[in-house]
Amino acid sequence: MSTPTTTRDVSGPAFSPLYRQIKELLTQDLQSGLWKPGEVIPSEFELAARFKVSQGTVRKAIDELAAENLLVRRQGKGTFVATHAEQNTQYRFLRLRPDDDRPRALQRRLLECSRARAAADIARALEIKAGDPAVLVRRLLLDGEQAVVLDEIWLPGRAFKGLTHERLSTYRGPMYALFEAEFGIRMIRAEEKIRAVAADASAAALLAVPPGAPLLSVERRSFTYGERPVELRRGLYRTDAHHYRNELS
C-alpha cells in the first residue's frame, strides 16, 4: 500500500486516509462476491500483510464496515460477511412490533409473483428504464390469524431472472436470504417514507378492516453495494394492535 493521497496532490482526488482506501478495497471484494454472505474473511493480520499496512489500519477499516452492518466480528472466531439468513438478523428491516411487545414469528402468505413492465414511477425508483422488465410480488404477513402487512414488492427483472411463485413459496427463510443465495444480491440499507392513508376496497378486504380505515403506508427503497437500488416495496400495515418502532439519537 502506497502513501495515502494527500491534499498536496493538487491534481489528484481529495485526501483519503489509508484505512479508507483499505475499506474501499474490502468493499470491492465483498461486492465482487469473493467472500459470500456468512463466510469468514481473512484475519486482520493476513489482510495487513497482504495490503502492506499495520494491523491497526486494517482494524479501523473493518470497524467501519462492521458499523455499517456489512461485516460481523466474532471474537476468537474471525470476521464474517453479514447475512440476512441468520436468526438474529432476520427481518432486520421490519420495524413493526406487536403492542404487547412479545415478539412472535409472522406467517407469510404469497398472493402473486408475476412479470410486468415497469411503469414510470417504478422505473424511476429502481433506476431502470420505463417499460423494462420487472417482477411484482404481493404477499401478506400474518400475526396468528390476523393479516397485519400487505406488501407489494417491485424488483428489477434482469437481476431476478429465475424468481418464480414456486421458488418463493417453497423457500424456507426470509426473502432477503433467498435473494442473497439465489441471485447474489445483498440488501445493504434502505430508506422508508411513511404516511397514513385510508384503506381502499382491495386492501381493506385483504387486511380485514373497513374500507377507509387508517393504515400505515410504508414505501421502502432498498439498496445494494454502490448505492444501487434493487427493490421498491410498498407496504400497508394495520396498526390497531401493532406499531412501527423507531429509535432516534
What HEC string does 48-93 produce? HHHHCCCHHHHHHHHHHHHHCCCEEEECCCEEEECCCCCHHHCCCC
Per CB under 7 A, 224 contacts DNA: no
CB 140 within 8 A of CB 108: yes
How near is the Cβ of 169 to a copy of itself at its closest, in Å? 26
CB 209 within 8 A of CB 192: no
How near is the Cβ of 221 to a copy of itself at its closest, in Å? 10
Q: By three-state DSSP, how is residue 233 classified?
A: strand
Residues in region 21-50 near DNA by CB under 7 A: 41, 43-46
- Closest to DNA by CB, 77 or 195: 77
Phi-psi map region of 167: left, alpha, beta (phi>0 left; psi -120 to 50 alpha): alpha
Kindly tell me which residue out of 13, 32, 76, 195 binds DNA, with binding defined by CB under 7 A.
76
Which spans of this chain sit near a copy of itself (rule: CB under 8 A)?
67-69, 92-93, 95, 188-198, 212-217, 220, 237, 239, 243-249
- Closest to a copy of itself by CB, 35 or 91: 91
- Closest to a copy of itself by CB, 157 or 176: 176
- Closest to DNA by CB, 51 or 91: 51
* Rounded Cα gap, residues 165 and 187, in angstroms: 21
CB 184 within 8 A of CB 193: no
- When CB distances are held under 5 to 8 angstroms depending on the partner's kind, the choice from a copy of itself, DNA, none that residue 143 binds is none
Q: What are the CA-CA distances from residue 93 to residues 15, 187, 233 (Å)?
A: 34, 10, 12
How near is the Cβ of 155 to a copy of itself at its closest, in Å? 18
* CA-wise closest residue to 100 among 135, 143, 139: 143
Kindly tell me which residue out of 73, 95, 138, 228 binds DNA, with binding defined by CB under 7 A.
73
With contacts defined by CB under 7 A, how many residues of the chain interact with DNA? Answer: 29
* Rounded Cα gap, residues 166 and 104, in angstroms: 26
Interacting residue ranges for DNA, rule: CB under 7 A: 1, 4, 6-8, 15, 17-20, 41, 43-46, 53-57, 59-60, 73-79
